[in-house]
A and B are shown apart, each in its own frame.
Chain A
């Protein structure tokens, strides 16, 4: 049984992990798993996280979890989180062979701390440049987008999840769940003009993304709130949060707000004042992809 996405389209759940960082500074995997479980319960209203997962996918779905590892070990989607999400999917009834954690290149995955795996018995960790994957050879064209999609998105996945790292982005303003799909095409460098607007929205609107996207989960455990997308320790905050939503636009709007709150707290000008607010979110709303207005988003906050 599928959830009625429309009913919860603008619900965004923000889970704060009080003890997610160990004294060493490392992440506590069990705490991350607890955050994921709580997030699913609050997002779906289910008593158990696995029921929420079961309602999101069919048992035979092949789920591609798109992560963002361009920032290296310091500021990429955390392996502990990716594995916790995959584990939640397993508990929800998906088969290990049908779950893939993926990004553009094996090198980036390794540098972000992932151990590559192509074993069919467990969630696989692989990239578009893994042997047997690759890009489509025919250009996919949609509005201003003309790209080759990763076959992981087009052929493997029947459902996809954007598990993005939340960061300030010098060109886009914010990089989060929607822009994460730039890593699913061969030429993202062509879509950073005009603060990535309308490209982020139009790519998301394309069939290979929109028809398969089921969930946005933003890794806001450590947030680069200034001078992103690369890592700068002085502007990276251990926020300890995860952001869940079925509405890809609303999830990113809440992520953007978190960045703005951190910037204000640190005495930095807002992205609007710097002339680089993520206008692609309003474009996405105009395209009917979700809600960008703060007043139309229900934010549920919880802690574990």
Chain B
């Protein structure tokens, strides 16, 4: 899609609304010509003899022969050179409240220009956006949105930040990185919503150009990662630790799936680990599961389960523990750990009252960690 068409799309078809995933699966006549995919050399790979390459972007370390694609489906070996097929190829672009990501301690009550390309380097059986994350780029409608236009669109829609989200931004690393650089030149912030399944070197480079990272910690057990995520737990823990060692803001989301990852003892161990390795002030969100994708046989998470896990986290000393996907629940709001004053009130994805003063509780003056402005 050319630039003019893109603008028409933004204006005319509601592309900038909605969740970004629903209904986006390509119908037969929507198939994208593979010639319309990008052919930009990927970063983070190693060449081997006989036109083989080894991808160094994520812990899978895919070793691929000529013409093969990685697990993510969006990076391809072509003649011994590795290419990203999704550079500047957005399959979703929306203006979202930052609370939707969710970030609760990062520019509250602002909008984030949110983009994604197709693809993902894990395969969660409970994926909420599988129609765009678990497909190849030619299987889903996409449009040209180069990095400079990402930043320009964010400005145009008065967004304070750009969010790399919906699918797994790691797989469109080059697009994300260059967009982030462009955004910073315009004074915009960058935030990443990721599973944290990335190698240390690309993560370190990314952390130079972004301001906030939300990591989905999907369980605290390797067998869950193996069976339900098709990934590894340890690299995610390494990523959490690495982000926490920088000035980049970090929040953790834990999607609670009934019977699969809702065990209190595991949650307690996880919270102790977070408190020890990251610190007790890291925001932790327990989100409610809805049946989706390959797990449709389980019910939505009981609210009582979310509340019980939140209590465990608070018992273990975490200061900012939230309940997500339960609009109107008191656990959506931020409370001062010192005096229990409600400093940010939320309803769903909206901030309904924000009483922080220069990042501190107006009642007792205690600093609330975050990037507030």
Docked complex: B245-283 residues within 8 A CB-CB of A: none
B139-168 interface bits toward A, Cβ cutoff 8 Å, 1 = contact, 0 = none: 100000000000000000000000000000
Task: Tell me if A186 counts as interface (CB < 8 A to partner B).
Answer: yes
- The listed residue (A70, A71, A131, A231) touching B29 by CB distance below 8 A is A131
Q: In the complex, are the beta carbons of B294 and A187 less than 8 A apart?
A: no
A112-144 interface bits toward B, Cβ cutoff 8 Å, 1 = contact, 0 = none: 000000000000000001111111010101000
Q: In the complex, are the beta carbons of B73 and A189 less than 8 A apart?
A: yes
User: Number of residue pairs across A and B with beta carbons under 8 Å?
Assistant: 79
Q: In the complex, are the beta carbons of B293 and A135 less than 8 A apart?
A: no
Q: In the complex, are the beta carbons of B136 and A129 less than 8 A apart?
A: no
Q: In the complex, are the beta carbons of B230 and A187 less than 8 A apart?
A: no
- A146 shortest CB reach to chain B, Å: 4
Q: In the complex, are the beta carbons of B134 and A190 less than 8 A apart?
A: yes
Task: Tell me if B237 counts as interface (CB < 8 A to partner A).
Answer: no
Chain A residues whose CB sits within 8 angstroms of the CB of B123 once the complex forms = 146, 187, 190
- B118 shortest CB reach to chain A, Å: 11
Alpha-carbon gap, A10 to B339, bound state (A)? 77
B62 nearest CB neighbor, chain A only: A192
Q: In the complex, are the beta carbons of A129 and B68 less than 8 A apart?
A: no
Alpha-carbon gap, A231 to B64, bound state (A)? 13
Q: In the complex, are the beta carbons of A227 and B65 less than 8 A apart?
A: yes
B31-67 interface bits toward A, Cβ cutoff 8 Å, 1 = contact, 0 = none: 1011100000000000000111000000000011111
Interface size for chain A: under 10, 10 to 19, 20 to 34, or 35 or more residues? 20 to 34
Alpha-carbon gap, A27 to B125, bound state (A)? 46
Q: A72-B67, A230-B68 are in contact. Are A187 and B73 (CB under 8 A)?
A: yes
Chain B residues whose CB sits within 8 angstroms of the CB of A135 once the complex forms = 25-26, 139
- B290 shortest CB reach to chain A, Å: 16
Q: In the complex, are the beta carbons of B72 and A189 less than 8 A apart?
A: yes
Q: In the complex, are the beta carbons of A146 and B125 less than 8 A apart?
A: yes
- A26 shortest CB reach to chain B, Å: 23
Task: Tell me if A232 counts as interface (CB < 8 A to partner B).
Answer: yes
Chain A residues whose CB sits within 8 angstroms of the CB of B50 once the complex forms = 227, 232
Interface size for chain B: under 10, 10 to 19, 20 to 34, or 35 or more residues? 20 to 34
Task: Tell me if A278 counts as interface (CB < 8 A to partner B).
Answer: no
- B81 shortest CB reach to chain A, Å: 13
- The listed residue (B27, B130, B230) touching A134 by CB distance below 8 A is B27
Chain B residues whose CB sits within 8 angstroms of the CB of A231 once the complex forms = 66
- B144 shortest CB reach to chain A, Å: 20
Q: In the complex, are the beta carbons of B67 and A71 less than 8 A apart?
A: yes
Alpha-carbon gap, A186 to B71, bound state (A)? 13
Alpha-carbon gap, A229 to B50, bound state (A)? 12
Task: Tell me if A208 counts as interface (CB < 8 A to partner B).
Answer: no
Chain A residues whose CB sits within 8 angstroms of the CB of B135 once the complex forms = 186-187
Alpha-carbon gap, A192 to B64, bound state (A)? 11
Q: In the complex, are the beta carbons of B67 and A189 less than 8 A apart?
A: no
Alpha-carbon gap, A141 to B295, bound state (A)? 10
Q: In the complex, are the beta carbons of B138 and A190 less than 8 A apart?
A: no
- B103 shortest CB reach to chain A, Å: 29
Task: Tell me if B197 counts as interface (CB < 8 A to partner A).
Answer: no
Chain A residues whose CB sits within 8 angstroms of the CB of B35 once the complex forms = 107
A-B contact pairs, 18 of them (CB 8 A): A70-B67, A71-B67, A134-B26, A135-B139, A139-B130, A141-B294, A146-B123, A151-B28, A170-B64, A186-B135, A186-B136, A186-B139, A187-B73, A187-B135, A190-B71, A227-B52, A230-B51, A232-B50
Query: Can you name 12 extra interface pairs (CB under 8 A) apart from A131-B28, A190-B123, A230-B66?
Result: A71-B67, A107-B34, A130-B28, A133-B28, A139-B293, A186-B136, A187-B73, A189-B70, A230-B65, A230-B68, A231-B66, A232-B50
Q: Which residues from chain B sit less than 8 Å from chain A, CB to CB?
A: 25-29, 31, 33-35, 50-52, 63-73, 123, 125, 130, 134-136, 138-139, 230, 293-294
